Homo-oligomer: A and B are copies of this chain.
Amino acid sequence: MGTLYVVGIGPGAEDLVTPRARAALARADVIVGYVLYVDLVRAWLPEARYQASPIGSETERAQESLRLASELDRVALVCSGDAGVYGLAGLAHELRAAIDWGDHSPPSIDVIPGVTAATAAAALLGAPLGHDFAAVSLSDLLTPWDAIVRRLEAVAAADFVLALYNPASRTRRRQLAEARAILLRYRSPETPVGIVTDASRAGQRMAVTDLANLLAHEVGMLSIVIVGNSQTRVLDGRMVTPRGYSDLMTLTQHVATGEGLLRKERA
């Protein structure tokens, strides 16, 4: 009986992989993952043994990694971002419980967290997640669209910052348009929106725009879209959400008493 490490490698840059994740990958007898993530890891650890699989076969991939972990010592299953946020950690736990292991002991599962896509994107945009936020996936493969709509309505009405995962794909654009329409019923068209594509990977692109102009921007499978709340502002090109509703007042008071720093009136 071995251990399956479900490893979040972060958004894709080598220097955002935690040492714990790196060690789990380096020590693994085999590294299993979607071909795009396996190729990333292979560039960092060319000597390791890999088993890459195409997208869309998450269940097979998780099941295969569990099977390998029941035979080997250490198996790593690679996830982008955090292993537990729309990642394979849950599926691995579910499969481990669902499989009849017969005479074998089931492998242990160790989930190694990582920098999730929303916070990696947020760091590039400024600080849009500075207060309460919700993460919603716009993929309706496993979740009925009306459940997603209900979540978007709730988020919009309760003034959450919103991080949209899987906002669109080449063939799926309607969901993003509908999400924007729902948000516009509760928020101003000037509400800041940040879009980051391929965060910290080759070809990284980002834009700070607003709800009015969101659909004019390129948004794809590898994009994260962050929609501000009623307090979010664009300051010197960065998207910033204050930590509450009385922060600005407090802030101005503090700046007024700062040593050697003059107070500037806030717009």
Contacts and interface: CB of A to CB of B under 8 A. Distances in A.
Nearest to A240: B93
A48 interface: no
A22 B94 CA distance: 35
Interface residues of A, number: 97
A98 B235 CA distance: 9
Given A98-B255, A254-B59, A255-B99, A127 B93 contact: yes
Interface in A92-124: 92-100, 102, 109, 111-116, 119-120, 122-124
B115 A251 contact: no
Number of copies: 2
A23 B119 CA distance: 19
Contact of A126 (B111, B130, B252): B111
A132 B124 CA distance: 22
Most chain B CB within a 10 A radius of its CB, from A119, A153, A248, A255: A119
Contacts of A94: 235, 240, 242, 247-248, 251
